[in-house]
Amino acid sequence: MRSRAAAAMLADAGLEHVFTMQGGIRAWEGLVASGPPESGMAYFGDAVSARDLARLAWLLEDGSRLFYVRLDDFLHDEDARKLFQDLTKAEISHELTLGGLYKSYSGGRAVEDSLPQERDDIMEGGISVSDALVWAREKDVASILEFAIALETNAYDLYI
């Protein structure tokens, strides 16, 4: 999505401080994050509200948290397990922040109260948690860590 179109969508959704960069990404002179080809962007429809965006972001964070938690089921390297446990804690922190944002846009309603009982199997990057876990079982710790760093970097790049 183009920067101007994304900024207009966020402004229409009720966000007050939205910026766009003159010249778009071609004018950017800093680092740009990129992800593996199998990752994709979650769909943000044109008519979503700020509340809906906060809810979707919360769901993506929760999917990533679940991915990190389930890595513990088959990783044997204690240092790697500790690292992914720390990433789990970071995702919980992100969920708390997004939950507060959702609450501010929904008149005090908790984000957890708005979730369907059957949640989508999706995490940051638009990747299926199940598919990511199947992939991770066949990879070494370095590959899994590289994947996690790419997901987190891309998510961070999208949020800022």
DSSP tag of 123: E
> For residues 22 and 51, what is the distance between their CA atoms, to the nearest angstrom?
28
- Smallest CA-to-CA distance from 124 within 90, 100, 74, 78 is with 90
Which pLDDT score is estimated for 5?
73
Mean pLDDT across 68-94: 95
Per-residue model confidence as pLDDT tens digits over 104-118: 999 999 998 888 777
Name the CATH code of domain 33-159 (choices 2.60.40, 1.20.1260, 1.10.10, 1.10.3470).
1.20.1260
Domain residue limits, the chain = 33-159
Which pLDDT score is estimated for 47?
45
- Smallest CA-to-CA distance from 66 within 117, 111, 115, 133 is with 133
Per-residue model confidence as pLDDT tens digits over 1-59: 456 777 777 787 788 888 777 777 677 787 766 545 355 555 556 547 888 888 888 89
Cα 153 to chain centroid, rounded: 10
User: How many alpha carbons fall within 13 Å on the CB side of residue 71?
Assistant: 30
